[in-house]
């Protein structure tokens, strides 16, 4: 088991490896506990919950990003009130990114903040969303537009949960792993050397700890995304988010892969990286996503991107592009130019 | 003009005195600004807004605590989205406690936090609620149960606004001033020496800065109410909040006065302070509130108090009681004992 500390205003302890989830009962001994989970996870881990946290109140929400909204948030808060949680109570978010984002938000808002503990059950959540304290709901067609920065006190990343994940969910987590590889040359190399093990759970558990360590460092330097350092984590996300909101259906991680793939061409054409490096990034992406889909009318997704909170003046679109091994560059494109790129790169003419 | 810094994770600058509000245009020069205000304040200060912040988007909400709820919060967030605010935009909360609490919450949630600037227009907000970063809405019958700790970057307390306040609003602010006097012996003395000037705006402007300085010190030592130091600011509030939620109609500050008055008897009977000191506290209260009203069926308010976030285990009620000049003591009462006190002290038999 690896222990990683995220050094923020309210430090988080992340435990990665087999047995991490068993720490739950020890950490929360004699605490009042509220478990948030979704119907899929509950079906699989109902026994785990009642064994490790026998006295907890449990709230089960509908699964899926489309429920990451105001309505579900207040459903959760109402359940917390019914459970008569107090300021010393804890919320355990047991699930994927949606449960983690909403659980974190509910924990940060309830009585101005109770203890939050993340138990991410998907690869995506283990490798990325459970660490760093970003909480959110989607609203008015904009992803994560409402949220807080609120550090969980503990994050327990246990590979046990990956065993019950459908392969598509693994691909989804690979989206953020491959993004991290484009930002950190050691992770890049490790993945290249283990390309054939990319769906192997032991390898994934190992690389998860590497990705968490990378993210912990960035978050420790820029907790609330003010200094600009944390921005790098948005590689592939501007286009990914925009397509996700416009077209739905696929998962966040898949859209990150698609976003990175499309943006690698922009990076190349804008002279941010060489053709060769862009090709390397695309090979990396193709380890997880063999076939990038086409999108009709993709320029309309650009309109969505402008509303994204990453784009500070509302006129330009900010892209975090691959530059070379372990390096990135932020590029601002006018909305018109970005529209043309999206249309050309993701449309049928590609 | 007095400058006071609140030394928290995100420091706030508080300016108290004539001319403070004029700093708005200088501070927000070239920024994208969203002004939140209520219909009462807007009626009086529409010209002030268009003169100092000519390019701002303005959202006017219905006035009153009963609108401090989820519905209004999302009305505000939707208006922020329509105004296409981005992460570098600022929210100015121009109004009393309700506008400040909700504006602060909306600013903390929108894109995980934009700059917040408080321009408190009531004495209560100037002296207390605008400083310290507590934001909130009421929900499910519990006051401030949803909120965040989010420091405004600036607070501008200008006595100009007090001129248009109805006398009842002044009394309301006196609630928090008198509470502060019970916690700080210098403020206590100053008020006793100026008892005849207690409704004089020059005196109030001076004492506001003193109260802000006291609060800034406490908040700097315990920003998120974890160490216990900040608890003292809740003197009179357990009973005040409970009666406020149960009976409504009166304002928060009036309920703080009533709460302190009732709790002064509890302090005396529980041996926390002498009869003489309790009488002194009651004389202080009577400078602002001549006649403490009776409440029928007050024990039912005790049920509400248990749900209050100050009461951590849900079984006892925490009271911050006056001990002696500049000192307080936290006392826990069982719900039954507290019910009996409330019933006897505030009921018709008193």
Q: What is the pLDDT of residues A45-75, one digit of tens each?
A: 999 999 999 999 999 999 998 999 999 999 9
Q: How far is A307 from chain B (nearest CA, A)?
A: 7
Contact assignment for A81 to B142 by CB distance below 8 Å: yes
A77, A147, A313 ranked by CB distance to B86: nearest? A313
A88, A140, A144 ranked by CB distance to B78: nearest? A140
Q: Judge whether residue A350 has pLDDT over 70.
A: no
A84, A108, A309 ranked by CB distance to B86: nearest? A309
pLDDT at B116: 98
pLDDT at B349: 52
Report the 10 Å Cβ neighbour count for B336.
10
Burial A1-38 (b: 16+ CB within 10 A, else e): ebebebebebebbbbbbeebbbbbeebbeebbbbbbbb
Average pLDDT, chain B: 94
Contact assignment for B136 to A112 by CB distance below 8 Å: yes
d(CA A86, CA A109): 12
Do residues B117 and B105 make contact, with C-beta atoms less than 8 angstroms apart?
no
Q: Which residues of B touch A (CB under 8 A)?
A: 9, 70, 74, 77-78, 81, 84, 86-88, 108-113, 134-136, 139-140, 142, 144-149, 224-225, 307, 309, 311-314
d(CA B144, CA B69): 9
d(CA A180, CA A2): 19
d(CA A306, CA A313): 9
Look at A16-20, A139-143, A235-239 and tell me which has the smallest mean pLDDT: A139-143
pTM: 0.93
The encoded tokens of residue B250 equal 């009166």
What are B123-133's pLDDT values in tens digits? 999 999 999 99
Average pLDDT, chain A: 94
Contact assignment for A140 to B81 by CB distance below 8 Å: yes
Contact assignment for B77 to A139 by CB distance below 8 Å: yes
Chain B residues within an 8 Å CB radius of A8: none
Active-site residue numbers of A? Answer: 112, 134, 176, 215, 225, 230, 234, 237, 241, 252
Q: Judge whether residue A201 has pLDDT over 70.
A: yes
Q: Judge whether residue A93 has pLDDT over 60.
A: yes
pLDDT at B236: 96
Q: Judge whether residue B96 has pLDDT over 60.
A: yes
Contact assignment for B112 to A314 by CB distance below 8 Å: no
Q: Judge whether residue B311 has pLDDT over 80.
A: no
Name the pLDDT band for B115 (thresholds 50, 70, 90): very high
For an interface test with A, the pick among B8, B104, B112 (most A C-beta atoms closer than 10 Å) comes out as B112
Q: Judge whether residue A314 has pLDDT over 90.
A: no
Q: Judge whether residue A311 has pLDDT over 70.
A: no
Q: Judge whether residue A116 has pLDDT over 60.
A: yes
Look at A228-237, A310-319, A322-331, A332-341 and tell me which has the smallest mean pLDDT: A310-319
Contact assignment for A110 to B146 by CB distance below 8 Å: yes
Average pLDDT over residues B146-171: 96
For an interface test with A, the pick among B146, B223, B241, B308 (most A C-beta atoms closer than 10 Å) comes out as B146
Average pLDDT over residues A212-229: 94
Average pLDDT over residues A191-200: 94
d(CA B110, CA B87): 8
Q: Judge whether residue A110 has pLDDT over 90.
A: yes
Average pLDDT over residues A91-103: 98
SS3 B119: strand
Chain A residues within an 8 Å CB radius of B74: 70, 139
Could you tell me the CA-to-CA distances from B278 to A163, B72, B272 in Å, in that order?
Answer: 65, 40, 10
Q: Which residues of A touch B (CB under 8 A)?
A: 9, 70, 74, 77-78, 81, 84, 86-88, 108-113, 134-136, 139-140, 142, 144-149, 224-225, 307, 309, 311-314
Chain A residues within an 8 Å CB radius of B144: 112
Chain A residues within an 8 Å CB radius of B139: 74, 77, 81
Active-site residue numbers of B? Answer: 112, 134, 176, 215, 225, 230, 234, 237, 241, 252
Name the pLDDT band for A150 (thresholds 50, 70, 90): very high
What are A157-179's pLDDT values in tens digits? 999 999 999 988 999 999 999 99
Contacts of B98 (CB under 8 A, 6+ apart): B38, B63, B64, B65, B67, B68
Average pLDDT over residues B67-92: 96
Q: Judge whether residue B286 has pLDDT over 90.
A: yes
d(CA A207, CA B10): 35
Q: How far is A166 from chain B (nearest CA, A)?
A: 32
């Amino acid at each position: 088991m690896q222990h990683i500390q995220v050094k923020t205003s309210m430090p988080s302890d992340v435990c990665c490896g087999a047995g991490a989830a068993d720490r739950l009962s020890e950490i929360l001994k004699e605490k009042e506990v509220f478990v948030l989970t979704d119907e899929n996870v509950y079906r699989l881990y109902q026994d785990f919950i009642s064994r490790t946290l026998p006295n907890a109140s449990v709230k089960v929400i509908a699964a899926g990003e489309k429920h990451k909204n105001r309505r579900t948030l207040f459903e959760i808060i109402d359940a917390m009130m019914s459970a008569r949680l107090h300021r010393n109570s804890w919320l355990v978010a047991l699930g994927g990114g949606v449960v983690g984002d909403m659980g974190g938000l509910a924990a940060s808002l309830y009585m101005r903040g109770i203890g939050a503990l993340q138990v991410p059950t998907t690869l995506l959540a283990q490798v990325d969303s459970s660490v760093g304290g970003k909480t959110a709901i989607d609203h008015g067609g904009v992803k994560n537009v409402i949220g807080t920065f609120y550090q969980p006190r503990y994050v327990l990343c246990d590979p046990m949960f990956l065993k019950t994940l459908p392969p598509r969910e693994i691909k989804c987590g690979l989206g953020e792993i491959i993004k991290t590889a484009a930002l950190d040359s050691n992770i890049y190399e490790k993945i290249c050397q283990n390309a054939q093990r990319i769906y192997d759970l032991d390898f994934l558990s190992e690389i998860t700890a590497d990705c968490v360590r990378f993210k912990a460092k960035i978050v420790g330097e820029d907790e609330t995304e003010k200094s600009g350092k944390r921005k790098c984590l948005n590689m592939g996300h501007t286009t990914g988010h925009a397509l996700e909101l416009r077209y739905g259906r696929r998962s966040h991680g898949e859209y990150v892969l698609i976003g990175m793939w499309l943006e690698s061409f922009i990076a190349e054409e804008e002279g941010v990286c060489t053709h060769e490096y862009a090709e390397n990034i695309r090979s990396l992406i193709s380890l997880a996503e063999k076939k990038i889909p086409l999108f009709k009318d993709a320029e309309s997704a650009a309109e969505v991107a402008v509303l994204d909170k990453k784009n500070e003046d509302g006129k330009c679109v900010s892209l975090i592009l691959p530059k070379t091994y372990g390096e990135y560059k932020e590029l601002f494109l006018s909305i018109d130019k970005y529209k043309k790129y999206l249309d050309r790169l993701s449309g049928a003419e590609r």
